[in-house]
Amino acid sequence: MQDNRRYYSLDALRGSMMMLGIVLHGSQWYITEPPGGLPLPHDGSTSYLFDLIMHFIHSFRMPLFFVLAGFFASLLVGKRGLTGTYINRLQRIGVPLLLAIFTILPLTMAFLVSFMASARFGTHQFLITPEQLEVIGREMKAAGMPTDQPSLGHLWFLYYLLYFYLLIPVCFLFSRWSLKLNLRPLVTSPFLYVGLSLYTVATLWHFRGGVLFEGFIFITPHLPSLVYYGSFFMLGYLFHYHRGILDTFNQHLWWFVGLSVVLFPLAIYFTGLDFATEASGQFHLHAVVSNAFLTWSLIYVFMGLFLRFLDFKSPWILYLSNSSYWVYLLHMPVVCAIAWLLFPYALPAVLKFLIVVTATAVICLTSYHYLVQHSWLSVRLNGMKFNALWPWVEARNIRASGEVTP
């Protein structure tokens, strides 16, 4: 399905979701209570603010990213065909994943284990002893974390994308068939939100607390996670064929903002009750329903916000879009390293978090700007080299030249 439009707003949204990983993973060290099924180590300085931040971002970030991945996969198939799409995705997703597994992932794991040892034993040394490693492994296994298979860490989503791209022929046939139906009244109706949320209730039922914090980061694919995230990818693919839904996101933005404000505390409350009463499962339905409806309300909100306010060509949007993939790949070992370095210091949790996030963003963006954008890495990640100025410099030059910019 040929579509030559440049979706600046969705480019910016996709880049923002990648960049948001810095905030999500920067907050995980300072939560007061690790999520059920995810025994995260945490710093001695904590704040409930970061529990809220983590739940909020996690409730929509990856579902929204997979919706966008499906949307852009359909766009790519229309331009390059199925074979060209698979070649492109292998080059841009498969190869970077393989390279990152042997470079970035070991660094991430090294600093993560060092942080875990510091939190568990009160020490602060980068190289931990075999005895400490054995204790950590035993305690993680007791907490329900598999220790008999490799973890992909934050790279899991690239791994899952490769599986989802195998669904493209099915998505293509289903989307083409859907064009024979008069779906516009449904697609442009805000009540489609209810149907999408109820479907997500079904795919979310397997997960404790109605949230995904377990199972999907390991080399063995986790079937419930594949089904859950894969459904967002397939829906995103379908949305590209029925682009009237983009107008719905925009037109009903503020209604969904209000709905999200109501649903977020409900989701927090029922998720906590579900984990607390796990044996009886008394509140599982409440947790799953509130989180599923929250996920889709926030998808509507962020799609609407970016479509309404950021759908234009801008140096900032282009730079964000081009740099975000590298930032996503590199940010995790940097976040882990800085959090570990800060561990011995009795600073407020908010201050530590701000240092982690700011320093990580500076390191990742500086490395992209001076080392990556004009190198072979940029070709591998973005399909071409760039020699862009910093976005504020480019914007200033555009204004000086008399061109009209937003």
Which structure tokens are listed for 349? 């949790």
CB neighbours of residue 305 within 10 Å: 18
pLDDT tens sequence across 198-214:
999 999 999 989 998 87
Which structure tokens are listed for 49? 């603010």
Which structure tokens are listed for 251? 């037109």
Cα separation of 143 and 233, whole Å? 31
The owner of tokens 């962020």 is 302
**Confidence (pLDDT) at 134:** 84
Where residue 242 falls among pLDDT bands split at 50, 70, 90? very high
Cβ contact 13:299 at 8 Å: no
| Paired residues of 151 in beta bridges | 218
Where residue 324 falls among pLDDT bands split at 50, 70, 90? very high
Find the mean pLDDT for residues 306-319: 94
CB neighbours of residue 235 within 10 Å: 20
Highest mean pLDDT among 121-125, 149-153, 230-234: 230-234
What is the chain's alpha carbon radius of gyration, rounded to the nearest angstrom? Answer: 22
pTM of the model: 0.95
**Confidence (pLDDT) at 171:** 96
